[in-house]
Amino acid sequence: MPFFVVEKIMADVQIELPDGSVKQVHSGTTPHDIALSISEGLARQSLAARFNDQLIDLTRPLDTSGKLALITPNSPEALEIIRHSCAHLMAQAVKELYGDEVQVTIGPAIKDGFYYDFYSESKTFVPEDFPVIEAKMAELAKQDQPVTREVMTRHAAVDLFREMGETYKVELIEDLGEETVSLYRQGDFVDLCRGPHVPRTGVHKAFKLTSLAGAYWRGDEHNAMLQRIYATAFLNKKDLKAHLERLEEARKRDHRKLGRELDLFSFNEEAGGGLVLWHPKGAMLRTIIEDFERKEHLKRGYDIVVGPQILKTDLWKMSGHYENYRENMYFTEVDEQGYGIKPMNCLAHMLIYKSKPRSYRNLPVRYFELGTVHRHEKSGVLHGLLRVRGFTQDDAHIICRPDQIDAEVKGVMRFVQDVAGIFGFDYTMELSTRPDKSIGSDADWEQATKALRSALEDSGQPFEINEGDGAFYGPKIDVKLKDALDREWQCATIQCDFTLPERFDLTYVGADGEKHRPVMLHRVIVGSIERFIGVLIEHYAGSFPLWLSPVQAIVLNVTDNQADYAQEVYEQLRSAGVRVEVDLRNEKLGFKIREAQVAKIPYMLVIGDREMEQRTVAPRFRDGKNLEPVSVDDFVAFVAAETAAFK
């Protein structure tokens, strides 16, 4: 009996480990203590811990019983914790280098790395600063400074950061509205943070500063402009090297760079930010994709429609866009009547549906429009073709009976699968649920969400739940394409909407002779054509497959002797529907071939004296492979066979 009394006094906290074993420890024991009790090696490897589903530091006292899992380099949470901690290391280095000249703001971990935003009136960061900052970071890491957590009252923390001249931290603390806040110290550097963090700066052995950008404080263009330093960190130098190689490959594939080199598109501030100027080759690429879209939609039972670019403001109020989306819209006035420039195509499609009575036998109707829309994006987020203000969507709205939702959603999912396969993409899916800012009844949202979830489950396609990220009028399935570098791009979406049919009084006459309310599915397959082309450029590194290439072949003469025949071949190919160019310049053949390869043209048709005499062409693929000479008709047949599946 005395034995149990002693146990009650000395072991008053029970800690359950992942293997199911239980350790009885004193209140105040830390995760590091528990790791050390298992093995010194585990204690050295541990970075943080998860206690009752909350991530905590290794030095956090455990005062209650619960489940504990130690975070080691193999844990899925490890990389994010290292990157978040490395953001503090970078901020510490910047402060030691530039002192009061720079103020720190926020520095979160993000996908593939982290960033930290700095404010300075006198210091402008440039890439040449990166080696200096990295060297200081390495010096601080080598010192292996302990990283400690402190809890301080809000007022004390405000006084501390105000004395340090860190006004942005003061603002953050005051806006938190909490009585206490947590701070982290390493050496002379202190930062406001919830944590957790690695126990010592010596953990950081593989990091790299990558780029610079501007960012408004708290994302508000009325606030001060900050300087954002992007960086990344990994567990070891091998992983960092592999990542940097991927970044270098991504830079080579940057659609903005390739767009200029391949003469596809441009932007001009005289026209306005975020507005694309399509050059002939880019416009041809766009036309190929749009023609493909029309064919695929017609094949699947869609009707092509076209709506106006502007609609009366009253309609946007009726739909809920004015209340929930107007900060993203442009408005104008005609004859003292307010109009909204459309950011979406759904309103016109509903008006088309309402133009005549509908029977249950007519449903579903599927309206498809390559609809150009305009949205007010802040200048700071514009990014080549991936984020623009004017773009065209492959937009469709399926108006159906409630009992048809499942089949229609599955039909759209098959459409997405087919298109992803044609362009060579893998993809993942997410179910996005009701956001805080939304319209419609709880019952409608529940029914719509259940319908989408059921279709996803029946498909067997794995999916994740993205809480609170649905459209304001309904839940949605989001499809993320995975490109050649395994990067994800949001493109297709399927939204289930009970609310707008109610607001616009859409009806159909049922089998019972009574009026009923239909459901509307909003969906895109590739989404924004502009964005999709940007993704395609990077996915293919500008080397488009033959069916998609704006220029499929270029005719090259060796000398002026073959100029007339080369021109004849060019005209014959063009008449046969091959997208072809001809280069008759008095330049060396090697020079013309290199230029055609840089332009990533699939085939170079070389014409010398032999080809002219035999009435043939000598095809050369863009990778340098030479093919046997063929007749012009045979080359036309070859192109037709290679592209037949896409016509």
- Mean pLDDT of the chain, nearest integer: 93
Beta-sheet pairing, 553-557 with 515-516: unpaired
> How sure is the predictor about 222, in pLDDT bands with cuts at 50, 70 and 90?
confident
332's torsion region: left (phi>0), alpha (psi -120 to 50) or beta?
beta
Q: Active site includes 496?
A: no
Alpha helices in 340-404, H assignment, sequence order: 346-353
Task: Identify whether 84 is a catalytic site residue.
Answer: no
Catalytic position from the list 50, 281, 349, 375: 375
- The domain 2-71 having CATH identifier 3.10.20.30: the answer here is yes
Summarize pLDDT for 46-84 with one digit per residue, the tens.
Answer: 999 999 989 999 999 999 999 999 999 999 999 999 999
Name the CATH architecture for the domain at 553-646: 3-Layer(aba) Sandwich (3.40)
- 395 assigned to active site: yes
Identify residue 67 by its one-letter amino acid code. Answer: K
| pLDDT per position as a tens digit, 13-40 | 899 999 999 998 999 999 999 999 999 9
476 is known as an active-site residue: yes
Tell me if residue 346 is catalytic: yes
Q: Give the domain ranges of the chain.
A: 2-71, 78-253, 279-308+343-539, 553-646
Catalytic residue among 366, 374, 476, 600: 476
Considering only the top CATH level, what class is 279-308+343-539?
Answer: alpha beta
Active site (annotated) includes residue 241: no
> Is pLDDT above 60 for 2?
no
pLDDT for 3: 37
Marked catalytic residue, from 57, 117, 394, 395: 395
* Catalytic choice (84, 255, 374, 522): 522
Our answer to whether residue 417 is catalytic in this structure is no
Its pTM surpasses 0.85: no
Choice among 88, 197, 397, 531 that is catalytic = 397
- For 240-276, write each residue's pLDDT tens digit: 999 999 989 999 999 999 999 999 999 999 999 999 9
CATH number of 78-253, picked from 3.30.1120.130, 3.30.980.10, 3.40.640.10, 3.40.50.1370: 3.30.980.10
pLDDT one-digit tens code per residue, 123-155: 999 999 999 999 999 999 999 999 999 999 999
Give me the catalytic one of 86, 193, 346, 491: 346
According to DSSP, the β-strands at 580-583 and 553-557 are parallel
Shared fold status for 2-71 and 78-253: no
Distances (CA, A) of 430 to 99, 344, 452: 45, 22, 10
Among candidates 256, 281, 255, which has minimal Cα distance to 485?
Answer: 255
- Cα–Cα dist 239/13, whole Å: 39
> Catalytic one among 103, 393, 495, 562?
393
